[in-house]
Chain A
Amino acid sequence: QITLKESGPTLVKPTQTLTLTCTFSGFSLSTSGVGVGWIRQPPGKALEWLALIYWNDDKRYSPSLKSRLTITKDTSKNQVVLTMTNMDPVDTATYYCAHRPTTYSSNYFDYWGQGTLVTVSS
Chain B
Amino acid sequence: SYVLTQPPSVSVAPGKTARITCGGNNIGSKSVHWYQQKPGQAPVLVIYYDSDRPSGIPERFSGSNSGNTATLTISRVEAGDEADYYCQVWDSSSDLWVFGGGTKLTVL
**Which residues in A have some Cβ–Cβ distance to B below 8 Å?**
37, 39, 46-49, 52, 60, 62-63, 96, 105-110, 112-115
Contacts and interface: CB of A to CB of B under 8 A. Distances in A.
Contacts of B89: 107
A90 B88 CA distance: 23
Given A107-B31, A107-B90, A108-B45, A62 B101 contact: no
Nearest to A50: B97
B49 to A, nearest CB: 8
**Interface size class, chain B:** 20 to 34
Contacts of B37: 47
A49 B96 CA distance: 9
A47 B45 CA distance: 13
- The B interface is mostly helix, strand or loop, or mixed, namely strand
Q: Can you list the 7 inter-chain pairs with the closest CB atoms, starting with the nearest? A: A107-B90, A108-B33, A49-B97, A112-B42, A47-B99, A46-B102, A46-B101
B99 A49 contact: yes
A110 B99 contact: no
A106 B90 CA distance: 9
Interface string B74-108: 00000000000010111000111111111000000
B58 interface: no
7 contacts: A39-B43, A46-B100, A46-B101, A107-B97, A108-B48, A109-B88, A115-B42
**A interface majority secondary structure:** loop
Interface centre among B31, B43, B44 (most CB of A within 10 A): B43
B1 interface: yes
B15 interface: no
Interface string B12-56: 000000000000000000010101010000111100100000100
A43 B96 CA distance: 23
Contacts of A39: 43, 99
Contacts of B100: 46
A52 B97 contact: yes
A112 B33 CA distance: 14
